[in-house]
Structure 1
Amino acid sequence: MRGKVYEPLPLIGKLMSPAHDTSSVGTRYNLNTPALVLDLDVFERNVATMAEIIKAHGKGLRPHAKSHKCPTIAQAQRDAGAIGLCCATLDEAQIMAANGLSGILITSPVTTGYKIGRVVALAEQTPDTMIVVDNPDNARNLAAAAEQKSLQINVLIDVELGFGRTGVTSPEAAVQLGNTIRNLPSLVYCGIQAYGGHLQHTVDPIERLDLCRQAHRRIEGIMDALASIEMSPPIVTGGGTGSHLIDAQEGPFTEIQAGSYIFMDAEYQTVIYAEGEKWPFDNALFVQTSVTSTNVPGFVTTDAGTKAFALNGPEPRVITSGLEVTTYEYAGDEHGRLHLNGANVRPSIGDIIECVVPHCDPTVALYGRYHCVRGDKLVDVWEISARR
């Protein structure tokens, strides 16, 4: 069930603490399960591949940190050519900035007085930080808080693309918000964000292409309306892992916000990349679990239940050699059930099982660290410090 054993390699990032010294563990198969395992060889290929694709189409890459919530990974993406990073929450943004990262875009509106105060503090610490707005009142509140500190805050107009979550819903609303921003000296207009989360997991590539083109036309209508008041957007940011190639090839975007590509997951494996083409990214992130009981015929019980996997995706996919035909089922908070489905191998007590995560972003939020491996060797441990 194990592959080639690699020679020890230099550590990549700073270890969390002596308690996580990799020399005391040695291999990826001697971890405290459930454990989150990151294959660094695959991860590095994924990072490099997306950087090359986006660069080849003349766009910028501003990857989404909500997928990994880890400053070490964000820095690796910056080192590979990313122009910045996206953060879904203010917590993520503050932690990334505290670790020396810049070029941060907060992709959701921040509206309460307490959080707006934190945005101002972040702008003071990292002046190139940007945040989206979709409401004139929110823009005015941000501006008032920034003015009290004699600061300017960089803002983008958030555009709704059919997901029904946030964003202005018409060209007229975009113009109204644009005029509001223009009349607030403590706000700096930087462009628009148009993210279609509902497009990313459209399984059929022809349907996904059609939906993306509809979104592109909607974005272009907003851009034309803003141009009519001399507010053509310098930045047009959006897109994701599922739509990155379409958006890079023919979309109106200046930059792409893909995030999940660094890990991939079982959910993205149900999506067809393009007609006749396989995904250029491979699975790099796994949950490792161990067998705790084998008494019932037809399945074995593991120690990874609903607290170990995100539940808003397909079931985990088993990749352990000889067990690929098995299916994974949750059997409670702390237990999983591996249905053998006639597999030639029956796991024994204490055996290690590895699964592709169902949905990477919320699964990562359940863990405190990545166990970083090359082959069978554990080479580092990275803290997931922005998972709040």
Structure 2
Amino acid sequence: MRPSPTLGPNAYLVGVAGSRHTLDTPALLLDRAALERNIAKMAATAERHGIGLRPHVKTHKSARIAQMQIDAGAVGVSCATLGEAEAMVHAGIPGVLVTSPVVSTNKLRRLVALAEKAGPRQLMLVVDDACNVAELAVLAARLAYPLDVLIDYQCGYHRTGVKDADAALALARTIVQTGSLRLRGVQAYGGHLQHIAVREAREDAAARLRDEVGALVRTLEAAGMPIEIVTGVGTGTHESDASAGVFTEMQPGSYVFMDAEYTQVLGGDSCAPPYETALFVQSAVVSTQAPSWVTVDAGTKSFATDSVAPIVARGVSGPSQYAFFGDEHGKLIVDTEHRPALAARIEFTTPHCDPTVNLYDRYHVVDEDTLVDIWPVDARGKL
């Protein structure tokens, strides 16, 4: 059978018993059962605490996975970029929030066109600047309904967002005066908190942020501003944030896959991570000539390089250590006793799942040892 140009060279292996171990590599692997359990567990947490779930698409960039999250009870999805939002809306995913400010006339025109396609209350965006609000309001006047916006609050890295309650209130007043925009609430995403290694320190920092956000919301509400939505919360802090009553919805993303970073963070303090690793990069051993390592076919073009090193998940029974070895190659340091053979398949837990996913065109979906489907990474490169 000839390979499918859209599904890639492994398409002929779908449904073949044991095909997980015969893939062309490097290949992005997705454990379907673990993914489904992770989605169900986060949805159950949100339901138990009465908080909305709007998971982040930037992690998986997949309309298929987004729909699974919606089917499990999510109120919508969060998108880091306009391109991601376009991919989700065109796939019919409801309740899309663009979590970064959208600027420039061309992008704002695209946004308004997308809002028109999505329909009333199906697309929101964040704003942090009065000039941006003014231009957006003019373009949004063509819609038959107000365009929903949230005020972005700079509570972490200070990449975007208004600086304090006074600035938030001034911007809120500008928004409600436009007529073409509708203020729905506030976004306060504490990305700087999500990877604090010690659980107690992470929870203390999250509690301080909740106090800060609560005060901001009270200031806006006291001035008569409509605050229906308070959104934020990542995978690292969702356990404490969900039950605290400050946020009305959460935006976790990485919980669906659990990369090496989050496995270390949420598995610290002698606790098992609450979610399973569902995403792997499979590589093959391409050389065994060196005495103290083997070379695999997954290098800097196969993994995100902004984080920890990939961790062997399957294929080596003893201790091992991965090191980047060039664009196309990795060095797997392993003792003689546990040395894998030429062409052996090695699966790695991804260092940082979001940018790793963006390197691939498709997911190879596996059920135990069998390749059962191939899904596109719909929003790959939608920067």
TM (norm. structure 1) is 0.93
1:301 aligns with 2:295: yes
Alignment-derived partner of residue 339 in structure 2? 346
1:106 to 98, 108, 117: 98
Q: Give secondary structure in 1 for the equivalent of 2:209.
A: helix
Could you tell me how far apart the structure 2 residues matched to 1:149 and 1:375 are? 49
* Distance in 1, Cα, partners of 2:40 & 2:137: 38
SS in 1 for 2:375: strand
Partner AA of 2:112 in structure 1: V
1:355 alignment partner, SS class: strand
2:365 pairs, out of 369, 372, 376, with 372
User: Does structure 2 conserve the Cα–Cα contact (< 8 Å) formed by 1:325 and 1:343?
Assistant: no
Could you say which residue in structure 1 is the equivalent of 2:126?
A: 132
Q: How far off its partner does 1:322 sit?
A: 3.7
Using the alignment, how far apart are the partners of 1:112 and 1:161 within structure 2?
24
Is the 8 Å Cα contact of residues 285 and 296 (structure 2) preserved in structure 1? yes
Deviations 1:77-134 (A, max 9, x none): 1111111000001111111111111100000000111100010001100122000001
Change (3 A) 1:158 1:324: farther
Correspondence 1:280-299 to 2 at 5 A: 280-299=274-293
Q: Percent identity?
A: 46
Q: Which residue of 1 aligns with 2:47?
A: 55
Out of 66, 72, 76, the residue aligned to residue 80 of structure 1 is: 72
Query: C-alpha separation between the residues in 2 aligned to 1:174 and 1:135?
Result: 10
Gaps of 5+ in 1: 1-14
Alignment of 1:1-388 (within 5 A): 20-23=11-14, 27-127=19-119, 128-272=122-266, 277-340=271-334, 342=335, 344-388=337-381
Question: In structure 1, what is the Cα distance between the partners aligned to 2:267 and 2:247?
Answer: 20
Distance 1:110-1:360 versus aligned 2 partners, 3 A rule = same
After superposition, the C-alpha distances for 1:301-320 in whole angstroms (9 at most, x for unaligned) are: 01100000001110000012
Letter in 2 for 1:114: N
Give distance in 2, aligned partners of 1:362 and 1:17. 21
Unaligned runs of 5+ in 2: none
Write the letter of the residue equivalent to 1:270. Q
Q: Which deviates more from structure 2 when the two are superposed, residues 319-328 or residues 137-146?
A: 319-328
Q: Any idea what SS the aligned residue of 1:28 has? A: helix
Q: Which amino acid aligns with 2:111?
A: V
The structure 1 segments of at least 4 consecutive aligned residues displaced by more than 3 Å after TM superposition are 15-19, 21-26, 148-151, 272-277, 321-324
What RMSD, in angstroms, separates the aligned Cα atoms of the two structures?
1.7
313-322 or 195-204: bigger deviation = 313-322
Is 2:61–2:377's contact at 8 Å kept on the other side of the alignment? Answer: yes
Deviation at 1:16, TM superposition (A): 5.4
**Aligned equivalents of 1:166 and 1:358: distance in 2?**
26
* AA partner of residue 41 (structure 1): A
- Aligned equivalents of 2:8, 2:209: Cα separation in 1: 50
* TM-score (normalised: structure 2): 0.94
Per-residue deviation at 1:277? 3.8
Moved more, 283-292 or 226-235: 226-235
**Letter of the structure 2 residue corresponding to residue 169 of structure 1:** K
Counterparts of 2:307 and 2:8 in 1: how far apart (Å)?
35
Describe the SS at the equivalent of 1:305. coil
- 290-299 vs 321-330, greater mean Cα deviation: 321-330
Cα deviation, residue 251, structure 1: 4.7
Distance 1:169 1:374, change over 3 A: same
Q: Deviations over 1:346-380 (max 9, x none)?
A: 11111110000000000000000000000000000
Code of the aligned partner of 1:230: G
